[in-house]
Amino acid sequence: MSFNDPEHTMAFTTRRVTEQNYPVLVVSHDAEDGAWQFLCGTTNDPKEGVTEALGSMLERHPEIEELADLPLGWVAWREDETSAWIREPRPG
């Protein structure tokens, strides 16, 4: 695993990503606490939010390994599963 965080590190995601196999289209590496967010970009409903171990996220969505070097305070997104990731500092 290329992430610096241990596999058991909890990441934030949505039920749509974990239970309905929606693609991960937005990834955030939070500056405040170093947390990872792997989101589908289709919901902001807090009821949809869940945590998942980083290792499990990688098993389910191996393409996110490309973002293991995403700096703290940055966000990456893509239009769909086949698009390239776009990275930039998260607006503060």
pLDDT number for residue 16: 96
pLDDT number for residue 44: 86
Read off the tokens for 39: 């989101």
| Strands (DSSP E) found in the chain | 10-14, 26-29, 36-39, 49-53, 74-77, 86-89
pTM for the predicted model, two decimal places: 0.93
pLDDT-above-90 percentage for the chain:
91
In this structure, are residues 72 and 33 in contact, taking their beta carbons and an 8 Å threshold?
no
- The tens digit of pLDDT for each residue in 56-88 reads 999 999 999 999 999 999 999 999 999 999 999
Confidence of residue 34 (pLDDT cuts 50, 70, 90): very high
Distance CA 85, CA 73 (A): 16
In this structure, are residues 52 and 18 in contact, taking their beta carbons and an 8 Å threshold?
yes
Distance CA 62, CA 66 (A): 8
